[in-house]
Amino acid sequence: MLTSRLHAVGDMRMHEEKRPVPGLGEVLLKITAVGICGSDLHWYGEGGIGDAKLARPLVLGHEFAAVIAEGSRAGERVAVDPAVPCDKCELCLAGHPNLCPYTRFSGHGHDDGALREYMAWPERCLFALPDSISDVDGAMLEPLGVALYAMDQAHLRVGGEAAVFGCGPIGLLTIQLLRAAGAVRVFAYDPRPHRMQAAAQMGAVVPDAALRGPEVVGRWVWESTSGRGVDVAFEIAGTDGAVESALWAVKPAGRVMLVGIPDDDMTRLPAGLARRKSVTLQLVRRMKFVYPRAIALAAQGIVDLRACVSDCLPLSKTVEAFELAAQRSGLKVMVTN
């Protein structure tokens, strides 16, 4: 089978390998679509993410859909949860599987991911896809799950206002969820004009032109709310500037959601501003218990997943797909089989 492995920073190679053999509780999957995530770009451009470093040639890919290749469910199309918590530790038993220290994760550490033709993965992580959801949309359910979990943690009330800083795929999905959840206005900003255009098409309020500096961006939101500020501000860019903009935009005693992953694994913020406003900083770790809801939202057309995808390339062109994604000139880049 054709397999893509990351050997070093920027060194992605294609290999011919044997199909994996499923272990206990696993099934063989034929991968149909894989999204390239911002965290994949950290691996590709930095050789790691956070404190996890590349220790061997690794198959990336954790946003994916597949077809069950054999067994009693052969032929069934599925979305795949990339996280496999232990279900036994204190955190799992307390209802926090996304914080499990023993989690296996597709395309991370010792577990190869989905950028290959076939993979074996636990059957308990598979969710049947209705015919109304395409393979590409099925792969987009993972980033939708991240956005949905961030929404769960934001506790925005119906009729509230929000801001999103960073309008990549997760930011765009968050905008759609905020609108569906009853936010009366959602402000959005991204320094890339094509992403701001996409945000506006999804119902967000965006400035008429590019703004210079995080304080200016945040004050634009503050002034647009007549000095009240938004109830919740989402930072989904992984930059200190987006964090600062969120702090300027949010109301006193409001909530700032830190969803993005910074390049150097450090987040810096203006402490005085945060302290004066007494904001709540909420960090978001992956997701939990969201796939059935994410599938329902997509199946009913409440969220448009395909609108967040700009490019689809075949597995044989994975290197080109990563180079394209690294340019950040589009939205989601998808690898398909």
Mean pLDDT within 283-306? 95
pLDDT in tens, 141-171: 999 999 999 999 999 999 999 999 999 999 9
Whether pLDDT at 118 is above 90: yes
Q: d(Cα 256, Cα 232) in Å, to the nearest integer? A: 6
pLDDT of residue 50: 78
Mean pLDDT, to the nearest integer, of 264-293?
93
SS3 content of the chain, % helix, strand, coil (to 5): 35, 30, 40
What's residue 7's pLDDT? 96
- Per-residue pLDDT band for 182 (boundaries 50, 70, 90) equals very high
For residue 280, is it left (φ>0), alpha (ψ between -120 and 50) or beta? beta
Q: Tally helices (H) and strands (E) across the chain.
A: 11, 18
Q: What mean pLDDT value characterizes the chain?
A: 95
Write out the two tokens for 51. Answer: 């404190």
Q: Is the pLDDT of residue 49 over 90?
A: no
CATH of 2-140+305-336, picked from 3.30.559.10, 3.30.70.580, 3.90.180.10, 3.40.50.1100, is 3.90.180.10
Closest-CA residue to 6 (of 80, 69, 60): 60
Q: How confident is the model at residue 87 (pLDDT cuts 50, 70, 90)?
A: very high
CA–CA separation, 97 and 84 (whole Å):
9
Domain 144-283 belongs to what topology? Rossmann fold (3.40.50)
Summarize the confidence of residues 28-35 as an average pLDDT.
Answer: 98
**Is residue 119 predicted with pLDDT exceeding 90?**
yes
Domain ranges for the chain, please list them. Answer: 2-140+305-336, 144-283
On the question of pLDDT at 257 being above 90, the answer is yes
Q: How large is the greatest C-alpha to C-alpha distance in the chain, in angstroms?
A: 62
- Reply yes or no on whether the pLDDT at 331 is more than 90: yes
Pairing of strands 185-189, 161-165: parallel
Residue partners of 103: CB distance under 8 A and separation at least 6:
83, 84, 85, 86, 97
The tally of CA atoms less than 13 A away on the side-chain side of residue 318 is 29
% of the chain beyond a pLDDT of 70: 100
Claim: this prediction has a pTM higher than 0.85: yes
**Residue 289 burial (10 A CB sphere; 0-12, 13-18, 19+):** middle
The pLDDT value recorded for residue 211 is 87
- Residue 264 has what pLDDT? 81
